[in-house]
Amino acid sequence: EADKDFGKYIYPLMQVTDIFRLEVDICMGGMDQRHAHMLARDIADKIGAKKAISLHGPLLGSLKGNGRMDSENFKKMSKSDPDSGILINDSPEEIKRKISNAFCPILQVAGNPVFEIAKYVLFPRLQNMEIKRPRKKRGNYNNRKYLATC
């Protein structure tokens, strides 16, 4: 029990050490990292280090499937499980493999990691994206239709 209590104090420090050791200018992470980034900013004043800018984005669900973000079953993309997400150094072939194998239930938007990637990564950068599909598969689809459902 004492080890668990000690861990509560030491773990946050371990989370922010790399920010100072790497002397980063910008810390990017999901909203789950916000507390660590704010701790680093508070500590920076006390140790005379520069304050890194913190940028936070939404948590993206695991490509292997997850629950809704607001549920206790939610599983996020994680560096500790490389197949759960797309990593910055993944090759185009690796990204294609991961997306091709991703959990993507038909007609389900909530909790669908492929739709989350489209919504938060692709669509903000594209004016219009159309997917050509045969009429028997509900015809062509574009991102404006999807964004209207979100």
CATH number of the domain at 133, please. 1.10.240.10
Same domain? For 2 and 64 the reply is no
Residues 90, 23 share a domain: no
pTM above 0.75, yes or no: no
pLDDT in tens, 24-71: 999 988 888 999 999 999 999 999 999 999 999 888 889 998 655 555
Neighbours of 30 (CB within 10 A): 13
The domain in which residue 70 lies consists of 59-150
Contact 88, 78 (CB under 8 A): no
Which amino acid appears at position 71 of this protein? S
Output the six-digit token pair for 143.
């991102």
Q: How many domains does the chain have?
A: 2
Report residue 11 as tokens.
């773990």
Q: Which residues pair with 81 in a beta bridge?
A: 78
What residue has token string 């773990």? Answer: 11
- Check whether residue 41 and residue 71 sit in a common domain: no
